[in-house]
Amino acid sequence: MKRVLMITEDGSHTIFIPEMDEHYHSVHGAIQESLHIYIEQGLLQTTKTELSVLEIGFGTGLNAYLSYCYSQKKNISVNYICLEKYPLNEAEYSVLNYPTAIFPEYSSIFNLIHKSEWNETIEIPKNFNFKKNKADLLTFQFDETPQFDLVYYDAFAPGKQPEMWTDRLLHKVASTVKPDGIIVTYCAKGAVRRAFSDAGFTMERIPGPPGKKEILRGKKTF
């Protein structure tokens, strides 16, 4: 599918897929959205100093990059694992303006995470282990023991890719989360809230970034 580079309202890039009529991020601001949902309402909500993070949909690497930057700022050790079925190619990721727009001192890390081998863990100083799985969430086999403290569920919208939001798949992801672990997503649909709730999470609707009234966050309580 064709992918088109676009500028969002905060000046940061996103990618648009004309065939799906879907963007990777909010057109109101990609960095603004990622910072609000995944960093402020996810990473910075935990008091742990060692975190195991799962991201569904590595995409442009923006969430991974910001997670790295904040892990350094807040002195959190992170084990970051993400899944991506349709990786961007070098011509696409090398023009993304995230590292010039935010934390330029870590721009080499943005390149490093993109250039790292698929399915191999790399150790990035300080204390950030990173692994990209080139994999389809629908068939990916997670370890049986719950291993994640934090999940970023950042798939394309349910209306565009409904197979990524079935109860069965959301339960599969939910089962990878440790007790007290957190799941956060931009999608505030009732069906998604109920699926995570049925899977043991206490869910809350919280205000979203500009252009999005609410997002969902849940804590695993049983």
Ligand X SMILES: C[S@@+](CC[C@H](N)C(=O)[O-])C[C@H]1O[C@@H](n2cnc3c(N)ncnc32)[C@H](O)[C@@H]1O
Residues of span 84-103 touching ligand X by CB under 6 A: 84-86
Does residue 24 touch ligand X according to CB under 6 A? Answer: yes
For the record, the structure tokens of 82 come out as: 């993400």
Q: Which one of residues 21, 48, 108, 138 is an interface residue with ligand X (CB under 6 A)?
A: 138
Q: Which one of residues 156, 165, 196, 201 is an interface residue with ligand X (CB under 6 A)?
A: 156
CA-to-CA distance for 94 and 121, rounded, in angstroms?
21
- Name the one range near ligand X by CB under 6 A: 40-48, 55-63, 115-123, 142-150: 55-63
Which candidate, 220, 164, 148, 157, places its Cα nearest to that of 186? 157
Residues of span 188-217 touching ligand X by CB under 6 A: none
Does residue 63 touch ligand X according to CB under 6 A? Answer: yes
The size of the interface with ligand X (CB under 6 A), counted in residues, is: 18
Does residue 59 touch ligand X according to CB under 6 A? Answer: yes
- Per the rule left: phi > 0, alpha: psi between -120 and 50, beta: everything else, 123 is beta
CA-to-CA distance for 52 and 108, rounded, in angstroms?
23
Cβ of residue 221: shortest distance to ligand X, in angstroms? 26
Identity of the residue, 13 or 220, whose beta carbon is nearer to ligand X in the bound complex: 13
Identity of the residue, 78 or 164, whose beta carbon is nearer to ligand X in the bound complex: 164
Identity of the residue, 39 or 76, whose beta carbon is nearer to ligand X in the bound complex: 39
Q: What is the largest CA-CA distance in the chain?
A: 45
Cβ of residue 110: shortest distance to ligand X, in angstroms? 11
Question: Is residue 185 exposed (0-12), middle (13-18) or buried (19+ Cβ within 10 Å)?
Answer: buried
Cβ of residue 179: shortest distance to ligand X, in angstroms? 25
Q: What are phi and psi of 21, to 5 degrees?
A: 55, 50
- Name the one range near ligand X by CB under 6 A: 2-10, 53-61, 169-177, 188-196: 53-61
By CB under 6 A, name the binding residues for ligand X.
24, 34, 57, 59-60, 62-63, 83-86, 136-138, 154-156, 164
